[in-house]
């Protein structure tokens, strides 16, 4: 069995259609990040999972999954990106419509 840091590498097992349907219901049919409706076409929905534990984190749209991948699933890197955007240009139109995060969310 291959090992990585003395930890066995577990093979990721794709969940069943029923499991995916249950996760979709848990997320009210929305992407776990952007909260936009997930496509009914499964080719455009990604089962996101932790590569270390193989735990399923949720269902994401392609854009959000790609975004996580570009940041290598690193929370600290994503936080730095948020901080960078908030401080780089808080009145930029792309900052409109944000909710819950950031001190500039009241900008209109
Ligand atoms: Zn999304």
Q: Burial code of 59-87, b = ≥16 C-beta within 10 A, e = fewer?
A: bbbeebbeebeeeeeeeeeeeeeeeebbe
Tell me how far the alpha carbon of residue 1 lies from the centroid of ligand 1, in angstroms: 36
3-state secondary structure of 82: helix
How is domain 3-70 classified at the CATH fold level? 3.40.1800
Cα 35 to ligand 1 centroid, rounded to whole Å: 6
| pLDDT < 50 stretches in the chain | 1-4, 8-9, 100-104, 106-108
pLDDT at residue number 85? 87
CA distance 104 to 81: 15
Nearest to 66 by CA among 98, 19, 96, 34: 34
Cα of 9 from ligand 1 centre, angstroms: 28
Q: Give residue 14's pLDDT.
A: 83
Domain boundaries in the chain?
Answer: 3-70
Distance CA 78, CA 72 (A): 9
Name the pTM for this structure.
0.71
């Amino acid at each position: 069995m291959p090992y990585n840091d003395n930890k066995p590498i577990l093979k990721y097992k794709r969940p069943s259609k029923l499991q995916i349907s249950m996760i979709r219901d848990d997320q009210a049919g929305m992407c776990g990040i952007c909260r936009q409706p997930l496509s009914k076409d499964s080719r455009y929905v990604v089962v996101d999972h932790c590569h270390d534990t193989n735990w399923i984190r949720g269902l994401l749209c392609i854009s959000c999954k790609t975004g996580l991948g570009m940041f290598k699933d690193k929370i600290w890197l994503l936080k730095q990106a948020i901080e960078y955007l908030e401080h780089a240009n808080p009145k930029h139109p792309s900052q409109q419509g944000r909710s819950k995060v950031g001190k500039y969310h009241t900008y209109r």
